[in-house]
Amino acid sequence: MLTSEVMLSTLKDAETGQRGFLLTGDPGYLQPLGTAQTKLDAELTDLDQTPLSTPMMAEEIVTIRALAKARITELGVTVALVSNGQGEAALRTVRSDDGKRIMDALRVKVDSWQAGARAELEQAQAHALWAWAGVIGTRAVALMLLGGVALTYRRASRAVTLTMASLKRFTQAFGLSHGMLRTKEGRITFWAEGMEQLYGYTAQEAVGQISHQLLGTQFSIPLAEIESAVRENGHWQGELIHRRRDGSFVVVASHWALYEGLPGAPAIVIEINNDITTQKNAEAALRDKEISLRLALDASELGFWYFLKTAERRETFWDERCKAIFGLPADHSVDYTTWLGMLHPDDRDGALAGPARASDPDDPNDDYASEYRVTRPDGRLVLVAVTGRALFQPDPEAPSSRRVRCTLGTMRDVTEIRAMERQQREHASALLQTIIDTAPGLIFAKDLGGRMLAANQAVLDLIGKPWDQIKGHTDQEFLDDPAESAVVMANDRRIMERGAIEEVEETVGSAGVSRRIWLSTKTPMRDAGQKVIGLVGVSVEITERKKTEERLQTLVHELNHRVKNTLATVQAIAMQTLRRADPMLRAALDSRLLALASAHDVLTRESWQGANLHDVISTALAPFRGRDDSGRDDTRFTISGPALRLQPRAALSLSMALHELATNALKFGALAVAGGHVALHWDIEETDTLRFRLIWSETGVRLPSETSHRGFGSKLIEHVVARDLAAKINLDFAATGVVCTVDALVSEIVPAEEMMEFPHVGRTPQVGRTGAA
């Protein structure tokens, strides 16, 4: 094998010489050719001598030999042609590529022969016929060399006859191989070319040195042990760390073989070192990766598994963690039946569905995830989460042109996690339920058909039925009063149709219980697409509030009634008391009391919030204003001014003032004479403040200038009303008729909340104007 390599190299040398001669015509190039021819002869002889165990290999050698001969002959022929001036012919021969074809054939043969030789050596190793074979397993070239030596030794049981020189010649065949020869003491006697590449030392530097000193060998086991192994077994192999010339370190796979040599000759150690630093680093990196992967798997508590299913074989692999999850010992063998048998019967279908779908060639999703319960051998039930993926291989005949080859994935024991999650969910849900149940109102959700989806305890209590009689039913079905349920359901339908939140008052009770009133806020419930799918409602009971409101209403009503009744009683007492008094006096008192009562009527109508000035005037003047025959308003009055709401106190005061003015006019003024006229005007004037000004002015009256009627009426106006309204009042009993002006701050006579209606200074009051009232 080695020889064959050398032979190829020799042929190359010969070719180089031939090419040099052909190109330059320089006969100097013919010398390497001649040398090569000689060398080839010797090498072919060596090749012949190589011990071979099979006839096939012998045949191979014959072919190699013939090809080598043919090649060297061809080279010789071209040289001869050129020498004889037949350059053209020589060139044709070269260009014919015959030479290349021969060389290619030769290369193929040599390779195959070498492979055969290697196989044979491996066989020898297997049979332990030759311990050395194991020494240098990786390097076919070296193996062939040593194999030759050993087989010869074994076969003939003779002393090895190779000389030191032939050994060296063989070792040259190491070529780029990294070998050295050294004495037993370690002194280097031969340093192959490859060693220089590996360590940086030239043969010159290395030869004669003690190798372990030169290379600073770091032994994985003590040197003495290695030497003892070499002595005992004739070889050793292991890993060493060497230091290069440049100081860097290199990890080598080192093979030592002891060659005793000729009797009497010194023993030689053959040491071949192969750089495995890269491989070591790669191994370390791979190991790191494996460790980190394992760490990751361990940290996530993931077990890894795969299930192989091909035409040839089915194989189930579970790592230890998978088995541990299933409660199986690490050495327990697992197959499909084992797995299926341990699944909870209720979960089997689910567990099978995922892988079946993922393995379906037509299904685009090759991944699945599922969870199922597993009954462990110890009886414990665990929840296992599995993620898997189906791997496919092309198969033109299968559906979707692919066939599942393997499913693989991870599994995890999620019993505790799920239990914890469930607990958290239950806790959150319980919390929510508690909040909902303790909320002081009804909380419920209904679907589009008005069927109850959810309800809190308050709802159940109100309806007086258990949840199972309410769930999925409508108000019509579970409420006792059909009238009540009809209203509720109509509200619900309207809110869901409009899709807008609404606040409604509803009456819902149960049979035998007094009616209860609820203020319900109902919100449409929507799906992800914003489509209304129901409603959520919250109802707060307002029965008491309503009752209070009603009571208050009744109270106000009753109070008004009482006031009127009291005025009636006062009137009655006064009339009875003054039974025999001056009828004029009785009438005056009577009419004043009635004016007061009428003003109260106005206020009662507005629940004492205030009174419209127009109403106050109309009521106060009603007894004085007649109608003509056609029903038209009394033309003796002109009344105009903007709409204005008065505080109750201002309304009462103005009523009384108007009553006195009108009474006076009826007795002595504009209403007592034909052609008399009363103009009543008011307005709001804006200066620094808003002021209310009202003028009562009579015309068409002619009175003696000295006439003065200042009595109770004028006192009432000038003092009582002035104080009540904080107004400046000017009451002028002029000969042409009474003129009374009232000037008050708007803020004094208008209810506080009505003041908001007035803009700030600089703008026209936003009050409507009306004509004659």
Given the rule CB under 8 A, which residues bind another protein?
Answer: 557, 560-565, 567-573, 575-576, 579, 590-591, 593-594, 597, 601, 604-605
Write down the least CB distance from residue 568 to another protein, Å: 4
Write down the least CB distance from residue 660 to another protein, Å: 17
Q: Which two tokens stand for residue 375?
A: 């009954």
Write down the least CB distance from residue 533 to another protein, Å: 45
- The type of residue at 34 is G
The string over 651-669, giving b where at least 16 C-beta atoms fall within 10 Å of a residue's C-beta and e elsewhere, is bbbbbbbbbbbbbbbeebb
Of residues 400 and 565, the one with the C-beta less far from another protein: 565
Of residues 604 and 736, the one with the C-beta less far from another protein: 604
Reading across the β-sheet that carries 532-541, which strands appear in turn? 452-455, 442-447, 532-541, 517-526, 502-507
Of residues 241 and 563, the one with the C-beta less far from another protein: 563
Distance CA 737, CA 735 (A): 5
Q: Which two tokens stand for residue 494?
A: 């309207």
Write down the least CB distance from residue 604 to another protein, Å: 7
Whole-angstrom CA distances from 760 to 514, 685, 689, 767 are: 52, 12, 9, 13
Write down the least CB distance from residue 651 to another protein, Å: 17
Tell me how crowded residue 87 is: count the other CB atoms within 10 A of its CB. Answer: 14
Write down the least CB distance from residue 634 to another protein, Å: 18
Of residues 313 and 580, the one with the C-beta less far from another protein: 580
Of residues 127 and 579, the one with the C-beta less far from another protein: 579
The answer to whether residues 467 and 460 touch, using CB atoms and an 8 Å cutoff, is yes
- The type of residue at 383 is L
Write down the least CB distance from residue 692 to another protein, Å: 29
Name the packing angle between helices 543-577 and 583-605 (round to 10°).
Answer: 170
CB within 8 Å of 483: residues ≥ 6 apart: none
The answer to whether residues 691 and 745 touch, using CB atoms and an 8 Å cutoff, is yes
In degrees rounded to 5, what are phi and psi of residue 629?
-65, -30
Give strand pairing partners of 729: 742
Write down the least CB distance from residue 599 to another protein, Å: 12
Distance CA 39, CA 173 (A): 14
Write down the least CB distance from residue 563 to another protein, Å: 7
* Parallel/antiparallel/unpaired status of strands 218-219 and 235-243: antiparallel
In degrees rounded to 5, what are phi and psi of residue 188?
-75, 130
Of residues 196 and 601, the one with the C-beta less far from another protein: 601
Of residues 423 and 607, the one with the C-beta less far from another protein: 607
Of residues 112 and 560, the one with the C-beta less far from another protein: 560
Of residues 91 and 563, the one with the C-beta less far from another protein: 563
Of residues 345 and 626, the one with the C-beta less far from another protein: 626
The H-or-E segment that residue 547 falls in is helix 543-577
Write down the least CB distance from residue 595 to another protein, Å: 11
Q: Which two tokens stand for residue 582?
A: 């001056």
Name the packing angle between helices 2-24 and 98-126 (round to 10°).
Answer: 170
Write down the least CB distance from residue 574 to another protein, Å: 9
Write down the least CB distance from residue 590 to another protein, Å: 6
Write down the least CB distance from residue 673 to another protein, Å: 23
Q: Which of 683, 696, 605 is nearest to 643 (CA)?
A: 683
The string over 511-538, giving b where at least 16 C-beta atoms fall within 10 Å of a residue's C-beta and e elsewhere, is eeeeebbbbbebbbbeeeeeebbbbbbb
Write down the least CB distance from residue 581 to another protein, Å: 14
Distance CA 255, CA 136 (A): 6
Of residues 218 and 565, the one with the C-beta less far from another protein: 565
Of residues 323 and 592, the one with the C-beta less far from another protein: 592
Cα angle 212, 215, 220 (rounded to 5 degrees) comes to 65
Distance CA 299, CA 410 (A): 13
Distance CA 308, CA 38 (A): 61
Write down the least CB distance from residue 748 to another protein, Å: 29
Of residues 543 and 591, the one with the C-beta less far from another protein: 591
Of residues 159 and 559, the one with the C-beta less far from another protein: 559
Name the packing angle between helices 583-605 and 613-621 (round to 10°).
Answer: 150
Hey, what's the torsion of the CAs at 464, 468, 472, 474, to 10 degrees? -20
Tell me how crowded residue 124 is: count the other CB atoms within 10 A of its CB. Answer: 21
Q: Which two tokens stand for residue 267?
A: 């023993």
Write down the least CB distance from residue 567 to another protein, Å: 5
Classify residue 155 by its DSSP letter.
H
In DSSP notation, 643-666 reads: --EE-HHHHHHHHHHHHHHHHHHH
* Residue at token pair 């007061």: 596
Of residues 331 and 582, the one with the C-beta less far from another protein: 582
Burial label for 286, CB within 10 Å (0-12, 13-18, 19+), is exposed
Of residues 176 and 573, the one with the C-beta less far from another protein: 573
Distance CA 8, CA 107 (A): 8
Distance CA 77, CA 81 (A): 6
Of residues 596 and 673, the one with the C-beta less far from another protein: 596
Distance CA 160, CA 315 (A): 52
Write down the least CB distance from residue 655 to another protein, Å: 15
